[in-house]
Chain A
Amino acid sequence: MRYLPKSPDDREAMLKAIGARSVDDLFASIPAEYRLRRDLKIPRQMAESEIVDFFRQRSRENGDGYTSFLGAGAYFHYRPVIIDSLISRGEFLTAYTPYQAEISQGTLQSIFEFQTMICELTGMEVANASMYDGSTAAAEAVMMAVRLTGRRSVMVARTLHPEYREVLATYATHQGMPLSIANYAQDGRLNLQELEKSITPETACVLVQSPNFFGIVEDIDAIAQIAHQNGAMLVVSIAEAVSLGIVEPPRQADVIAMEAQSFGVPLGFGGPYCGVIATREKNVRQMPGRLVGQTTDKQGNRGFVLTLATREQHIRREKATSNICTNQALVALMVNIFMTIYGRVGLKELAKQNLAKTAYAATQFARHGKVLFGGAPRFNEFVVETSEDPYAINSRLLGHKMIGGLPLKKFYPELGNSSLWCCTELTTRSAIDTAVGLVAESERSVRSAKEEVEEVTR
């Protein structure tokens, strides 16, 4: 086996040194009746060239070469080349969690920079080293608010990513945290009247996403006011990190739970991504996940260490803030490099391009069909309502190597034939025009078919 660095002679010599006759002697403590006496029924050992072929083939069966208008929590942005050059360095790729600070300063300093930039972008005072993803970060942020307020019930905006809601429901089930859902209003934003009516003195926090699942920027000021007046915390989930380049961050939030995938992390069929939690300094001891802090060594040199570890499972065990151990360090490094590349000016320009492409696309779609929730500001997603079933439209688009918007009826049955479209800086005008043309064509044919039917029945 080519990964194993031993010759038969080495093995022989080692067995002799140990005093064992054969390698099976070393497994003698496993009761004989359980030992596997056959080969595992898995694919035979393959050459590297065969492995590469296998995955190239899978790649061809996996949407390679399609133009996509999908967003909904996973965004296709350009990934500068140097991200992969740098994260492929073995010293980053093949290092463990930086417990031994003296020989982990590279990882530790980069996490410290990551925490700093997340704070700058979110307007919060502290950020952790990462969580699994945006959905689990949101669930953990809510549990944090529950610990901080001593209250148990949670109000969740229905415009939070539906899968995030599902994950939260799973986490909450056995924590005795009743969840209630607040619906959206006409403009696609959280219904503030409903929020005001249903918030109670037992509400630990209000959880909203902004830009929300429909791509609409929520009225954070108003929501924060309602939450805080009722003694509840405001937890804001951010699924599209690029929005932070041009959309004011939810500074009034008590906790922010973010998905940073947009910052240089490949779509990768849904993972690995990079969740983050950010909050106010006073809440830090209830924050889950790893934290890097600055300190000095014996000679007074600046250095970095994992800190406030007493919050974590390896010390507090069943009383820990969370069971999280391994997080998403390498993905956080991608995010860190991406943020460094774009920086103060680039992120804004990048976000502006997303905004412009989306504004253009929404305008074009509106000429031929209905774009919902027009009244409120949106970032890079919008909802299109069609006469025809969006699954049928998407089928047709696939024939043109295009992936249309996400049909919403699965998550929001009341929205019928609506779908969620996304444009990023990578979406070209010609792709938008083609997609709009194809949707318009199907709208026309449905309309004329309908007219024919009406003609006949008249």
Chain B
Amino acid sequence: MPYPSDRKYTREHEWIQVNGNSAAVGITDYAQQSLGDIVFVETPKVGAELTAGKTFGTVESVKAVSDLFSPASGTVTEVNSELATAPEKVNSDAHGSWMVRITLKNPSELDALLSAADYEKYVAEEAGH
């Protein structure tokens, strides 16, 4: 699975796609694969403040819960309500299923994140264990 180069990635397997001062956040294809069938996505409310590296929600499969870690700090402006009724979208199209949109507080935080190529390498190593 190629990782789109139009966005950045975290070591916790989230992606963030910037568009001006706003950014969309989701989880990677590798993450959805290791979680298995996703049954629920818990997201914060519009207006919530996210902090880079801190949890902002969870994704659940039948028998596991994973925290979502925010790739950057910012305020939630929109939540993908489609996922509330169709969480399986994350399985079928992880990179197209954004979970929240935020306005970035400090765009320079993104510099610390991984590029698509670096993330792909990182995932290959992690899967090797």
Q: Do chains A and B touch in the complex (CB under 8 A)?
A: yes
- A residues with a Cβ closer than 8 A to B are 285, 309-310, 315-316, 319
Interface size range on B against A: under 10
Q: Which residues of A contact B40 (CB under 8 A)?
A: 285, 310
Q: Which residues of B contact A285 (CB under 8 A)?
A: 40, 42
Cα-based distance from A333 to B60 in the complex (angstroms): 30
Q: Which residues of B contact A315 (CB under 8 A)?
A: 63-65
17 contacts between A and B (CB under 8 A): A285-B40, A285-B42, A309-B62, A309-B63, A310-B39, A310-B40, A310-B60, A310-B61, A310-B62, A310-B63, A310-B64, A310-B65, A315-B63, A315-B64, A315-B65, A316-B65, A319-B65
Distance in angstroms from A316 CB to nearest chain B CB is 6
Which 6 interchain pairs have the tightest Cβ spacing?
Answer: A310-B60, A310-B65, A316-B65, A315-B65, A315-B63, A309-B63
Query: Which of A285, A310, A319 has its CB near the most chain B CB atoms (within 10 A)?
Result: A310
Distance in angstroms from B58 CB to nearest chain A CB is 8
Cα-based distance from A310 to B65 in the complex (angstroms): 6
Q: Which residues of A contact B61 (CB under 8 A)?
A: 310
Cα-based distance from A329 to B77 in the complex (angstroms): 45
Query: Which of B40, B42, B60, B63 has its CB near the most chain A CB atoms (within 10 A)?
Result: B60
Interface residues of B in 15-65 (CB under 8 A from A): 39-40, 42, 60-65
- B residues with a Cβ closer than 8 A to A are 39-40, 42, 60-65
Cα-based distance from A316 to B64 in the complex (angstroms): 8
- Of chain A, the residue at the smallest CB distance from B60 is A310
What 5 additional pairs, Cβ within 8 angstroms, besides A310-B62, A310-B65? A309-B62, A309-B63, A310-B39, A310-B60, A310-B61
- Of chain B, the residue at the smallest CB distance from A305 is B62
Cα-based distance from A315 to B64 in the complex (angstroms): 6
Q: Which residues of A contact B60 (CB under 8 A)?
A: 310
Q: Which residues of B contact A309 (CB under 8 A)?
A: 62-63
Q: Which residues of B contact A316 (CB under 8 A)?
A: 65
Cα-based distance from A285 to B61 in the complex (angstroms): 14
Q: Which residues of B contact A319 (CB under 8 A)?
A: 65
Distance in angstroms from B91 CB to nearest chain A CB is 16
Q: Which residues of A contact B63 (CB under 8 A)?
A: 309-310, 315
Cα-based distance from A316 to B59 in the complex (angstroms): 12
Q: Which residues of B contact A310 (CB under 8 A)?
A: 39-40, 60-65
Cα-based distance from A319 to B65 in the complex (angstroms): 10
Query: Which of B39, B64, B65 has its CB near the most chain A CB atoms (within 10 A)?
Result: B65
Cα-based distance from A41 to B81 in the complex (angstroms): 65
- Of chain A, the residue at the smallest CB distance from B58 is A310
Cα-based distance from A316 to B60 in the complex (angstroms): 10
Distance in angstroms from B36 CB to nearest chain A CB is 12
- Of chain B, the residue at the smallest CB distance from A320 is B65
Distance in angstroms from A307 CB to nearest chain B CB is 8
Cα-based distance from A134 to B124 in the complex (angstroms): 52
Distance in angstroms from A284 CB to nearest chain B CB is 11
Cα-based distance from A319 to B58 in the complex (angstroms): 12
Distance in angstroms from A149 CB to nearest chain B CB is 13
Q: Which residues of A contact B65 (CB under 8 A)?
A: 310, 315-316, 319
Distance in angstroms from B45 CB to nearest chain A CB is 10
- Of chain A, the residue at the smallest CB distance from B67 is A319
Cα-based distance from A285 to B62 in the complex (angstroms): 13
- Of chain A, the residue at the smallest CB distance from B66 is A310
Cα-based distance from A309 to B64 in the complex (angstroms): 9
